[in-house]
Amino acid sequence: MDRERLWLEFVNTDDTRRGERVDSMRDFAALVRWLETHGVLDAERAAGIRRRAEQQPAGASAALADARRIRAALRALAERGAHETRVRADVLAELNRVLGRSAGTRRVEARDDATFVRAFVPGGDAFAGLVMPIVESAADALVLGELARVRRCADPRCSHVFLDGTKNGRRRWCDMRTCGNRAKAARHRIKVRP
Ligand SMILES: [Zn+2]
């Protein structure tokens, strides 16, 4: 699948399979792994964060809880932000809470696949800045006017959100190979029924 906007991929870690909620961010280690696979942390910084988490387990749990809270806000933004002023205002406050929180160095870094990612190297509390690139990605979406093209998959059993990049803006499924294909097969079954 094409790489999705970082904040939307983060929302999609709170997944649903066959109607059951499946959170792939079940502990702090999973959060760090996700940040590493998505190029937000390089191997060295990820190792540093893991060491810090061993020394400060309470801080790590708080950082995980914070990441989940931000994820819930970003899901609200993705699903309802384009239509509901109140949701936009609430999420904006949440984004600014994170953006204003910690000092550090902002960077843009090259990934192995020739794409780029924003990175944030916290100056103070290492945990506080972990979600910064995710929040910045959501802020970019607002600034670039992308919100109207953010959708939730049309399959009610699927909770994936995505950015509709099609010209006509009528993409309905998170992925044509999974949800889109299932819908096509279902339509076909209805058609051939005598
Ligand atoms: Zn889907």
The pLDDT score that the predictor gives to residue 94 is 95
Q: What is the CATH number of domain 6-150?
A: 1.10.3300.10
Cα of 155 vs centre of ligand 1, distance in Å, is 6
* Cα–ligand 1 centroid distance for 82 (angstroms): 19
Distance 179 CA to ligand 1 centre (A): 5
27 CA → ligand 1 middle, Å: 24
Note the pLDDT of residue 68. 96
Ligand 1 is an ion; residues with CB less than 5 A from it? 153, 155, 158, 160, 174, 179
CB contact burial 14-52 (16+ within 10 A = b; e otherwise) = bebeeeeeeeebeebeebbbbbbebbbbeeebbeebbee
Q: What stretches in the chain show pLDDT beneath 70? A: 1-3, 102, 192-194
Query: Any idea where the domains of the chain sit in the sequence?
Result: 6-150
Question: For residue 129, how far is its CA from the centre of ligand 1 (angstroms)?
Answer: 30
pTM of structure: 0.86
Q: What's the confidence (pLDDT) of residue 102? A: 67
